[in-house]
Amino acid sequence: MEPVELSALFHAEPGDGLALRLYRAVQRAARAGRLFPEEALPSSRAAARSLGISRNSVSAAYDLLLAEGVIDTAPGRRPRVRSLAPFAPPPPAATPALSHRGAAWAADPRARQGAAGGGLFAPGEPDPALFPADAFARRLRRAARRTSPQASGYADYHGLPALRAAIADQLVRHRGLRIDADQVLVLPGMQAALALVAQTLAEPGDRVAVEDPGYAGARAAFDGSGLRLTPVPVDSEGACIAHHCRTRAGPVRLIYLTPSTQFPTGARMSLPRRQAVLAAARAQGAVVIEDDYDSEFLWRGGAIPALHALAGGDGVIYLGTAAKSLAPGLRLAWAVVPPGLAEPLAQAQRNLGMGANVHVQAAFAGLLADGGWRAHLRRISRAYAAREALLAEGLVARCGSALRLRRPDGGLQLVAEFSTPRDEGLILAELRQAGFAVSALSGYCIAAPRCGLVIGFAEADAARVDRFCDALARALGAMTA
């Protein structure tokens, strides 16, 4: 029996990869009945010569066909086609529907903020030009060479011991916490930390008190975990949570706060408010989640201890991140949990797949241990303080009474509310055309929308501030003309 001529089948098969093309061509022909049972295929040498491809490619295709039962081989004879049942591809399946929980996780809580795409002056984003690239690269290379086989595996899924110890040391010395390294979990970003806490410390249907306006990422984590949001108003002293907890029906299970620098307003929570929050949380058995995302940046007043320190660690879970001081792309955050929860939350973290990159962890540990991080913070804090002042002064000079500007106590963004009702969407569209990715203040709100802009200043310089203020002044003027 003469072997099958494969040339027509092979050259009619689309796609890249010579071995895969030949494999698919023979498989389709056999399934469709164009190749008959016991029909012989050419030897790998003969097929390679006739098709103009390497013998290795033919051998690889034949190996795949043999593994799938399309052909038989035996020593001293050519491959032969096996008897196969005809196969018709099934019709395309419908796209699976999201579950209620899946829809909650897939929702974009930031869409209402109106900052689609990239651009300058995005709220909360650090200046990538200030990233200590050389210093971090040196430590990253060292980490890649010296990371132990144990650390490269699954043994320290909740964080390298060296990094957990270095984070604990920083928090004890600079934030007033009284903790051990065993209480620190290292996670791939603040979003992962919030999701872990929400899914392990609350049941679906529980209430969580959140700042209003507040961080949309926290709302996403709580929504996705099936929790009910209870918005709490924010003023110049931060969130009014203690009063809210006393007057609303039903207890809250979690209380989420950004007390050192409220996001997005930049307000620092006053000491009486902090004390009242802790008292209210204890009274109803609530857990306080302290998001200390950028307490390194303070523009007015001195540093204050973390809420965790004020509470003596009782009933407060502390969250921190390298996203603002270094870069969001490092995907590095940490949670400080009570000693009795450290082991179960570490196991939950592993089960949920929330492990951080081990080499990034090692590099950051080196930066903390040798003082490089504190030196970097001093340098960028001076830069950001000057940029905040530059932007605020430009807004006051160019937009004047059209804005109610609140200078932030800390953070990387400021809030400018409109003195009279304005169409945020039209103003954002004008600013986007000029290359600026500021956000609508109403997109951070839940119960009572406030109208204005949230403006990042990390990348501000004189020329950019002039361009931004010109664009904003034009947009405000056009709406009043």
- pLDDT (tens digit per residue) in 389-411: 999 999 999 998 999 998 999 99
pLDDT beyond 60 at 247:
no
Within 10 angstroms of residue 425's Cβ, the number of other Cβ atoms is 11
**Radius of gyration, alpha carbons of the chain:** 30
Q: Domain coordinates of the chain in residue numbers?
A: 7-81, 103-108+128-374, 380-480
Residues 315-339 have pLDDT tens digits of 999 999 999 999 999 999 999 999 9
Residue with the larger pLDDT of the pair 36 and 258? 258
> pLDDT-derived band of residue 481, with 50, 70 and 90 as boundaries?
very low
- Mean pLDDT, residues 105-132: 87
Residues 323-379 have pLDDT tens digits of 999 999 999 999 999 999 999 999 999 999 999 999 999 999 999 999 999 999 999
What is the pLDDT, as a whole number, of residue 84? Answer: 76
Rounded Cα–Cα distance for residues 89 and 180 (Å): 59
Give the chain's length: 481
Alpha-carbon torsion (448, 454, 128, 324), positive or negative: negative
Tell me the pTM: 0.85
pLDDT beyond 80 at 148:
no
Rounded Cα–Cα distance for residues 372 and 132 (Å): 9
Domain 380-480 in the same topology as domain 7-81:
no
Rounded Cα–Cα distance for residues 100 and 391 (Å): 43
pLDDT beyond 80 at 467:
yes
Assess if CATH 3.30.70.580 describes domain 380-480. no
Rounded Cα–Cα distance for residues 228 and 206 (Å): 6
Q: What percent of the chain has pLDDT over 70?
A: 95
What is the pLDDT, as a whole number, of residue 243? Answer: 60
- What mean pLDDT, rounded, does the chain reach? 90
- Kindly report which listed range (110-119, 134-143, 210-219) carries the lowest average pLDDT score: 110-119
What is the pLDDT, as a whole number, of residue 224? Answer: 94
Residue with the larger pLDDT of the pair 81 and 390? 390
What is the pLDDT, as a whole number, of residue 249? Answer: 55
> pLDDT-derived band of residue 212, with 50, 70 and 90 as boundaries?
very high
CATH topology of domain 7-81: Arc Repressor Mutant, subunit A (1.10.10)
Residues 298-311 have pLDDT tens digits of 888 777 889 999 99
Residues 4-38 have pLDDT tens digits of 788 888 888 888 889 999 998 898 888 888 888 88
Residues 259-300 have pLDDT tens digits of 999 999 999 999 999 999 999 899 889 999 999 998 888 888
For domain 103-108+128-374, which architecture applies? 3-Layer(aba) Sandwich (3.40)
> pLDDT-derived band of residue 244, with 50, 70 and 90 as boundaries?
low
- As to burial, measured by CB atoms within 10 angstroms (0-12 exposed, 13-18 middle, 19+ buried), residue 89 is exposed
- Mean pLDDT, residues 146-175: 89
Answer for the pair 260, 304: CB distance below 8 angstroms, yes or no. Answer: yes
